[in-house]
């Protein structure tokens, strides 16, 4: 039932945690500013991260091509035109409301998202060592609001 996983700004030294694909309810994955490395590679499951709407893998040392196979599985980012006024968050008791908060970078500015609109989608893969062409499959993510793939070694 995990919806938000924020491991950003730590010293985690590891490869991309493919086991997280099993988290079928995950909407936000933040791994920014760690020491992750290696290729992201092919998914282990048929439909990894189907509800994902924010992913931030920036400021790590990922290499290889951008993960076009994963882009094809992010179904929530392919749905266009959802203008819901719902926000992520959970009611813990009758009087306490937990609101998920994350930081994202857009055009060099760090923004704090206190209320996250269900339809808001972000992919930040900046400041890694990805190379090769930008895959066409990223164009299928029709509901994207922010894409940051700067500071890599992309061509094409």
Write down the domain spans for the chain: 4-83+119-155
**Residue 124: strand, helix, or coil:** strand
The fraction of the chain above a pLDDT of 90, given in percent, is: 45
What is the dihedral sign for C-alpha 132, 137, 140, 143? negative
Burial category of 74 from C-beta neighbours within 10 Å (exposed 0-12, middle 13-18, buried 19 and up): buried
Give this prediction's pTM: 0.80
For 8-21, write each residue's pLDDT tens digit: 999 999 999 999 98
Instruction: Quickly count helices (H) and strands (E) in the chain.
Output: 1, 13
**Position with higher pLDDT, 65 vs 41:** 65
Do 131 and 153 touch, CB atoms closer than 8 A?
A: yes
Do 148 and 125 touch, CB atoms closer than 8 A?
A: yes
Count Cβ atoms below 10 Å from residue 28 Cβ, excluding itself.
22
Residue 111 has pLDDT above 50, yes or no: yes
Residue 145 has pLDDT above 90, yes or no: no
Q: What is the CATH number of domain 4-83+119-155?
A: 3.80.10.10
Which positions ≥6 away from 95 have C-beta within 8 Å?
none
The fraction of the chain above a pLDDT of 70, given in percent, is: 74
**Residue 131 pLDDT:** 96
For 69-108, write each residue's pLDDT tens digit: 889 888 888 876 554 434 445 543 433 334 455 666 666 6
């Amino acid at each position: 039932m995990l919806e938000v996983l924020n491991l950003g700004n730590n010293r985690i030294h590891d490869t991309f945690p493919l086991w997280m694909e099993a988290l079928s309810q995950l909407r936000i994955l933040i791994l920014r500013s760690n020491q992750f490395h290696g290729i992201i590679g092919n998914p282990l499951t048929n439909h990894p991260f189907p509800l994902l709407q924010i992913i931030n893998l920036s400021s790590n040392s990922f290499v290889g091509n951008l993960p076009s196979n994963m882009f094809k599985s992010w179904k929530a980012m392919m749905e266009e035109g959802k203008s819901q006024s719902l926000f992520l968050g959970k009611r813990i008791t009758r009087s306490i409301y937990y609101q998920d908060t994350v930081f994202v970078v857009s055009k060099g500015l760090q923004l704090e998202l206190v209320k996250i609109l269900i339809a808001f989608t972000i992919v930040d893969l900046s400041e890694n060592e990805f190379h090769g062409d930008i895959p066409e499959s990223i164009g299928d993510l029709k509901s994207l609001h922010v894409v940051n793939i700067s500071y890599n070694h992309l061509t094409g």
